[in-house]
Amino acid sequence: MKMEQWIRAIAGVLVLASVALAHFHSLYWLYFTAFVGLNLLQSAFTKWCLMEDILAKLGVAKKAA
């Protein structure tokens, strides 16, 4: 998978997990959902994504082989 696909998959998992935690545990988990959403929004404007840096250090290629 390309890095962009990894980032989208990770963001989706984090959002779904935090919504599930908000439903079953505490509504405060929705702050984490908002945090993920804000990071996605800021990366659209700044062209910088922390998860991209993390994945690059883990050896994920920007383009599929």
Domain range annotation of the chain: 3-57
- Token representation of residue 5: 């696909």
How far apart CA 36 and CA 25 sit, in angstroms, is 19
Count of C-beta atoms within a 10 Å radius of residue 14: 17
Maximum distance among all Cα pairs of the chain, rounded to whole angstroms: 42
Q: How far is CA 62 from the centre of its chain?
A: 16
pLDDT of res. 61: 87
Q: For the segment 18-61, what is each residue's pLDDT rounded down to a tens digit?
A: 999 999 999 999 999 999 999 999 999 999 999 999 999 999 88
Taking Cα atoms as reference points, which of 3, 2, 1 lies closest to residue 49? 3
pLDDT of res. 38: 95
